[in-house]
Amino acid sequence: MDGAGLPTTRSTCPYCGVGCGVLLRPDGQGGLDVRGDPDHPANRGKLCSKGSQLGQTLGLDDRLLSPKIDGETADWDSALGTVASRFAATIAEYGPDSVALYVSGQLLTEDYYVANKLAKGFFGTANIDTNSRLCMASTVAGHKRAFGTDTVPGTYDDLEQADLIVLTGSNLAWCHPVLYQRILAARKNRGTRIVVIDPRRTASCDGADLHLALAPGSDVALFNGLLSEIAQRGLIDADFAGNVTGLDEALATARSEDLSVTGLSDTDLSAFFDLWCGTEKVVTIFSQGVNQSTSGSDKVNAILNCHLATGRIGQPGTGPFSVTGQPNAMGGREVGGLANMLACHLDIENAEHRQTVQGFWSAPAVPTSAGLKAVDMFRAVGEGRIKALWIIHTNPAVSMPEADRVRDAIDGCDFVVVSDVTERTDTARLANVLLPATAWAEKSGTVTNSDRTISRQRAVLPAPGDARPDWAILAEVGRRMGWQSAFDYQSPAEIFREYAALSGFAARFGRDFDISGLQNLSDEEYDTLAPVRWPVTATRVGGRFFGDGRFFTPDGKARMLAVNHRAPAASPCDARPFVLNTGRLRDQWHTMTRTAKSSRLSAHLPEPFLEIHPKDAARLRLSPAALVRVENDLGSAILRARITDAVRPGEVFAPMHWTGETAPSARIDALVAGACDPVSGQPESKASTVSISEY
């Protein structure tokens, strides 16, 4: 109850990976009063602009309220029967790898778990991937290579205990605002220094002591330079080095690196090295600027190398720290929502792991190798190899690289199912079957934020029309395909208990992810579950990993990797002289299906634009606020020029949010090439090449 005696419900913000707690109070007219939860450990009552405007985004005007088949309203029985029969027939005729699911970090863990179980255990395909592939797959790969598991070592508390925060490839001030505010508060209290490493001068630079505007894609060289400097200054932690392998090889490679590729001055490099080497308590935060790269995994390992060499990991105020974009990107990693993972951080290539999962699920088969990652999945759709595709809570016709090709591929697919809250998306318009799903505040389950804290999302509004929870839709399709007992779920609590029990089996293989301490929660205990950081076992709850120097590799030692700078896949040329960087705005979220409903959020930066340096604007004779055409072989966009020295000469920046629904000429991901990191499969969303001319 609040002070006025009205009932309030604790839930979690549905936007970024900070995972802020919110207090929800229905206003009786279909709306909600939304406040920050003072008791949630992520935000302690604070919310950013997006979270505080959630109440403005709940209107039903654009909601999908009934299933549709080929554009005609249908009942659930017909819609689910069509989905089940078409998937069964496709698998029977063309084999399990002729079908695919493309899902989302917006899914709750329970939804994600059922989707993954249906695909990998019962369809018999690993062709389930997620839009988190575009977000942090390189971090997953880097963690696994170094630590043996996809483990985030630290916690948000470390950000307040550090004396130096390095933000690399992260505009935290706009993309994870509440975390940034926590760091600024720590700076006030203890004088924390902040370094921002980003080709572009962003809002995060406003509070920084040093901004390194490095050349796009040169992070490996920079951190190799740092590793070399660490050794030069005698800062290798000799005690911790016993917990690490590969130090000599990584160091030799680092010493051979040519730092001129960073484009940074000796003065800037020295200032950074002095700060990093001279500060014991360092946290290096990294995000999409590191991950969305053809060398993303190597960038991650170059960062991890520096922390491993100095033993600055697993102790208060230290460590590498990946921040995730979506509310449940971490939950998706944990349930195995990526095409190359099994549930509970088990490995798809490991026969014992597969047998454990298969046995636990009583599944007919679990695939023996990784499925198609997002970019390859949509190429397979375009080539007709995927014949039945189920897209859940994501808009790949806008958000995937080569978005025009992806849109055309989906349009040409034999059978497309879209589960979403609205039919007004570029992707939903291409569906054969549309399934209305419940939205945030109408559905219940759990999410995991960037520091491994599991929080509840809770339903406080009734499901509108015929909308159903995703777990229920997926489970019903599973039952209709003949797997009654495997998908006989009655509630998200039941799914969560099964998932927690599976994690206990996984932990026997020395995996990090273990929430077996939650497997016996009663329905009431699940309903009232307070935020809790994993692992949760009979003997341990939360805390940091690796402080004891033990890792999840076979020999228990971390791996330092020898990684070299590689330039982005595309180089500027006469025909395409500009490097295109894409990213988020402070007040919009993904393809704007929710945030565009808020007039206050839309007022921040109301139209699509292109940041371009004054020298380039002068050379192109652009008038202030001119409309420009941005194009390459993949597509074109018309954007308003914003002439600013926040970007470097030869580089331009455009936000990623606008769609065919909101600004048909501004689908910027149509221009992003599908070049991917060879290890993680994550596409390079920040370094395509384009030409620019006045429109």
Contacts to ligand SF4 by CB under 6 A:
13, 15-16, 18-20, 43, 47-48, 50-51, 176-178
Residue 169 parent element (H or E) = none
At its nearest, how many Å lie between ligand SF4 and the CB of residue 280?
29
Shortest approach of ligand SF4 to residue 655 CB, angstroms?
A: 16
Least Cα distance to 403 among 415, 393, 392, 394 occurs for: 394
Question: Helix H segments across 217-256?
Answer: 219-232, 238-241, 247-255
Compare residues 323 and 558 and give the one whose CB is closer to ligand SF4.
Answer: 323
CB of 36 to ligand SF4, least distance (A): 7
Beta carbon of residue 54, minimum distance to ligand SF4 (angstroms, whole number): 8
Closest CA to 302 of 340, 246, 345: 246
> Residue 611 in contact with residue 644, Cβ under 8 Å?
yes
Place of tokens 């939360």: 542
Smallest gap from Cβ 604 to ligand SF4, in A, equals 13
Q: Which is nearer to ligand SF4, 327 or 504 (CB)?
A: 327
Give whichever of 177 and 289 is closer to ligand SF4, judged by the CB atom.
177
Least separation in angstroms between CB 19 and ligand SF4: 6
Return the HEC string of 390-428. Answer: EEECCCHHHHCCCHHHHHHHHHHCCEEEEEECECCCCCH
- The closest residue (CB) to ligand SF4 is 51
42 in Cβ contact with 453 (< 8 Å):
yes
The answer for residues whose C-beta is within 8 angstroms of residue 230's C-beta and 6 or more apart is 236, 276, 277, 306, 309, 310
Nearer to ligand SF4, 21 or 681 (CB): 21
Q: Structure tokens of 490? A: 């009655």
**Residue closer to ligand SF4 (CB basis): 177 or 504:** 177
User: Rounded to an integer, what distance in angstroms lies between the CA atom of residue 625 and that of residue 536?
Assistant: 54
- Work out how close the CB of 47 gets to ligand SF4 at its nearest, in angstroms, rounded to a whole number: 4
Q: State which residue, 47 or 647, has the beta carbon closest to ligand SF4.
A: 47
The answer to whether 419 and 391 have CB atoms below 8 angstroms apart is: yes
Helix axis angle, 351-361 relative to 492-507, nearest 10°? 150
Closer residue to ligand SF4, CB minimum distance, 118 or 532 = 532
Going by their DSSP bridges, the two strands 282-286 and 164-168 should be labelled as: parallel
**How many of the other CB atoms lie within 10 Å of CB of 229?**
19
DSSP conformational letter for 671: G
| Tokens (6 digits) for 107 | 């899914």
Q: For strand 99-103 and strand 72-73, is the pairing parallel, antiparallel, or unpaired?
A: unpaired
Cα gap 316→547, rounded to integer Å? 9
| Smallest separation, CB 22 to ligand SF4 (Å) | 8
CB-based burial, 204-227: b 16+ in 10 Å, e otherwise? bbebbebbbbbbbbbbbbbbbbbb
DSSP per residue over 625-638, as a string? Answer: T-EEEEEETTEEEE
Minimum CB–partner distance for residue 593 and ligand SF4 (Å)? 15
In the complex with ligand SF4, the residue whose CB is nearer, 120 or 452, is: 452
Query: How are beta strands 433-436 and 68-69 bridged, if at all?
Result: antiparallel
How many CB atoms neighbour CB 489 within 10 A?
20
Shortest CB 440 distance to ligand SF4, Å: 11
- For ligand SF4, give the closer residue by CB, 90 or 155: 155
Please state, in angstroms and rounded to a whole number, the distance separating the CA atoms of residues 441 and 503. 28
Half-sphere exposure of 472 toward its Cβ, with a 13 Å CA cutoff? 17
| Least distance (Å) between residue 32 CB and ligand SF4 | 14
Closest contact distance (angstroms) between CB of 592 and ligand SF4 is 14
As measured in angstroms, the least distance from the Cβ of 18 to ligand SF4 is: 4
Nearest Cα neighbor of 15 from 291, 321, 400, 324 is 324
Question: At 355, which helix (H) or strand (E)?
Answer: helix 351-361
Of 342, 344, 408, 358, residue with least CA distance to 379: 408
| Angle value at C-alpha 407, between 405 and 410, nearest 5 degrees | 110
Closer Cβ to ligand SF4, 51 or 517, answer by number? 51
> Left (φ > 0), alpha (ψ -120 to 50) or beta: where does 119 sit?
alpha
Residue 324 Cα to chain centre, angstroms = 5
The pairing of strands 532-533 and 453-457 is antiparallel
The whole-angstrom separation of Cα 239 and Cα 311 is: 8
Minimum Å gap between C-beta 165 and ligand SF4 is 16
Q: How far is the CB of 108 from ligand SF4 (least distance, A)?
A: 15
Please say which residue, 455 or 689, places its beta carbon nearer to ligand SF4.
455
Closest approach, Cβ 386 to ligand SF4, in A, equals 33
- CA dist 192 and 461 (Å) reads 42
Q: What are the DSSP calls for 514-540, one per residue? A: --GGGTT--HHHHHTPPPEESPB-SS-
